Amino acid sequence: MGQNKKIEAGKLLEEVGPVGRYQLRMLLIIMVPILWCGTISTQYVFNAMVAKHRCMVPQCETWPAEVTPGAWGAWALTDDKCRRKQPVADTCSANSFHATNTQRCDKFVYEHNNTIVAEFNLGCQEWKRTLVGTIHSAGIFVALPLTAYVSDTFGRRVAFIVTAVLPGVVGLARSFTQDYISYITLEFLDAVVGAGVFGRRVAFIVTAVSPGVVGLARSFTQDYISYITLEFLDAVVGAGVYSSGFVLALEMVGINRRVLCGNIISSTFALGQALIALIAWAVPNWRTLTRIIYAPSPFFIIYYFLIEESVRWLLTKGKKKKAAKIIFKAAEVNKKKLSPETIRLLTEETPVEIKQTDPVNPNSENLDPEKMPAENSNPDKKVPENFQPPSVMLAVLKSRVLMTRLCICAFWWVTVTFIYYGLSINSVSLAGNSYINYILTSLIEIPGYGLSVITLDRFGRKKSIITAYFICGVSLIALPFIPTSIVWLQTSLNLFGKLCISMVFSSIYVYTGELYPTGLRHRMLAACSMTGRIGQMIAPQTPLLMSYMESLPYILFGLMAGASGLLMLLTPETLRVELPDTIEQAETISPVKQRPVHLE
């Protein structure tokens, strides 16, 4: 049997046209579910929004009651919204309540019934409210490890569609929940089923449809248990829309266009986050809001007929005929003529393999689905043919330099996700209009992504990221000390912090990948990204810190940003540095002369 012919996917895309009419059309189609993904990604911020409430006093009022008490409030209520004066008689007079003794309230009166806090009677149970966001993030954490395997096995297109549809089912189910537990379980499942568990095209379609089913189911829940169950399920089925769509988009454009394509996708996601605030502003009731935002999900099934599978994936799986059909179609739409050699390779019976000319691929579906960077440099660097990647943990444990570097990188990632999601969640608690604050906090990400592209190659990786970390830290530490009467300054500092952390989020993908050798690069980047999910899971709990000290979340954000900036001083600059292929090469790029230690 003859040896398989090799074809370079990058050069093939250049022949078809790196960004032609075909790619632009596909990109626009993919952007719709990405926009929708941004919309549902943080819906819990508004579904579980704080509702003004007070204790109900049965001796003085009957249900339903107004949140503003009558004159009896002076002797029946206390300044603590979770406690009321202890009754000594079953009447409503000044003498009917103890002057000093109080008791914890068992029922509350709410200003409105628009959020799960009021409907599930979560007053003075702040931990249950913040747990919704953590459960959603946990669902994503559970789902992401499955993304790469299934995406590589079944294809990009189906993965994209499935993760766009199933979360809709979970989300709609959540809108019908009647209890807290059901709601939060569906929130978790919503994130997991959208994490891209069925490949590129398949996973994209499945993860686009699934969240709608779960989300709609959640809208009918009647209790907290059901709600939080569906919240988990929502995350399980919906976390992969972004990652599947991102990889699908990047694999259809030329290497030199991935920076632009990646930032377009990231910016579209940010627009979706702003859109949810606009919709929630117009439709504050959580059940109606959930049904509106998840309703489009089932329609993403038609994406199976609208988008093509990744050519790169098809070629790696030996499906040359399907890949050739797409390539010829793209060339025709782009009005490009393929070379005779390419036509021969695609039409002859001999199998072809993808020639690895792009070993540095930070834009992998394994990585974080929320933010992606500019593409790494030096795309023509070839991997040695006899290179055999070692066991990941064994290779890292053998090297003191790489082990230290891995720990530092993990801290960066926890910090960046903690601050990024924490600022979005806490923006609704700032002075001023909560919805406008959230919209601005989402939109400010877009220039942040642009800054990462401009600064990384001009000023270097370390200088750019360290500066952004320090500016972010100073802005956030200063924010709580600004009087609430100066709304514009508080908002500006919050936006400045979000701008800088968004730039860092995009930049550390590139920088982290450049610190490791070729055989470990992808897996180390994925390990750091997955570790960073810890920060995302903790971020929804930061509002609890305000009960101890209102400024504590922002001080914590600022200190962690500063610590990450300082730790980055211990890692090397990688701008215009040859990317390492071996552990020894990776160790020697360190600015501090260290003798590599290897365990035999």
Is residue 560 helix, strand or coil? helix
pLDDT attached to residue 227: 81
Residues 6+ apart with CB under 8 A from 557: 418, 419, 422, 423, 472, 473, 476, 497
HSE value, Cβ hemisphere, 13 Å, CA-based, for 95: 0
Residues 6+ apart with CB under 8 A from 42: 273, 276, 424, 425
pLDDT attached to residue 154: 61
**Widest distance between CA atoms in the chain:** 99
**CA nearest 138: which of 481, 534, 499, 512?**
534
pLDDT attached to residue 391: 59
Q: Are 415 and 473 in contact (CB under 8 A)?
A: no
Q: Are 34 and 242 in contact (CB under 8 A)?
A: yes
pLDDT attached to residue 9: 65
pLDDT attached to residue 598: 40
pLDDT attached to residue 233: 75
Q: Work out the angle between the directed axes of helices 126-154 and 158-165 (0-180°, nearest 10).
A: 160
pLDDT attached to residue 230: 79
DSSP letters for 11-63: HHHHHH-TT-HHHHHHHHHHHHHHHHHHHHHTTHHHHT----EEE--TTT--S
pLDDT attached to residue 159: 65
Q: Are 92 and 72 in contact (CB under 8 A)?
A: yes
Which residues of the chain fall short of a pLDDT of 70? 1-10, 144-175, 177-179, 182-208, 237-240, 255-256, 349-393, 395, 518-519, 522, 590-600
Residue 339 CA to residue 91 CA, distance in Å, equals 93
**Using one digit for the tens of pLDDT, what is the confidence trace for 284-318?**
999 999 899 988 888 888 888 888 888 877 777 77
**CA nearest 207: which of 194, 216, 197?**
194
Beta strand pairing call for 97-104 and 83-87:
antiparallel
Q: Are 143 and 197 in contact (CB under 8 A)?
A: yes
Rg, Å, the chain Cα set: 26
Residues 6+ apart with CB under 8 A from 31: 264, 265, 268
**Residue 433 to residues 53, 113, 478, 592, Cα–Cα distance (Å):** 19, 19, 21, 49
**CA nearest 148: which of 232, 231, 234, 246?**
246
Q: Are 530 and 552 in contact (CB under 8 A)?
A: no
DSSP letters for 84-117: EEEESSSS-SGGGEEEEEEEE-SSEEES-S-SHH
Helices H, strands E: what count in the chain? 28, 13
**Start-to-end CA span in the chain (Å):** 40
pLDDT attached to residue 377: 39
Residue 201: what residue type? Answer: R
Residue 389 CA to residue 116 CA, distance in Å, equals 50
pLDDT attached to residue 153: 61
**CA nearest 156: which of 93, 21, 250?**
250
Residues 6+ apart with CB under 8 A from 593: none
Residue 441 CA to residue 242 CA, distance in Å, equals 20
Residue 270 CA to residue 273 CA, distance in Å, equals 5
Degrees to nearest 5, angle at CA 22 with 19 and 23: 45
Residue 244, phi-psi category: left (phi > 0), alpha (psi -120 to 50), beta (remainder): alpha
Residue 499 CA to residue 449 CA, distance in Å, equals 8
**CA nearest 212: which of 313, 149, 292, 146?**
292
Beta strand pairing call for 53-55 and 5-7:
unpaired
Q: Virtual CA dihedral for 479, 484, 488, 492, nearest 10 degrees?
A: 10
Q: Where are the beta strands (DSSP E) in 189-346?
A: 200, 205-209, 216-223, 225
Residue 499 CA to residue 561 CA, distance in Å, equals 13
**CA nearest 311: which of 522, 9, 8, 1?**
9
Residue 179 CA to residue 225 CA, distance in Å, equals 5
Q: Are 374 and 449 in contact (CB under 8 A)?
A: no
Domains within the chain, CATH numbers bracketed: 21-44+125-308 (1.20.1250), 52-111 (no CATH), 372-600 (1.20.1250.20)
Letter string b/e over residues 173-212, b meaning 16 or more CB atoms within 10 A of that residue's CB? bbbbbbbbbbbbbbbbbbbbbbbbbbbbbbbbbbbbbbbb
**Residue 140 to residues 188, 195, 207, 368, 495, Cα–Cα distance (Å):** 8, 6, 12, 10, 26
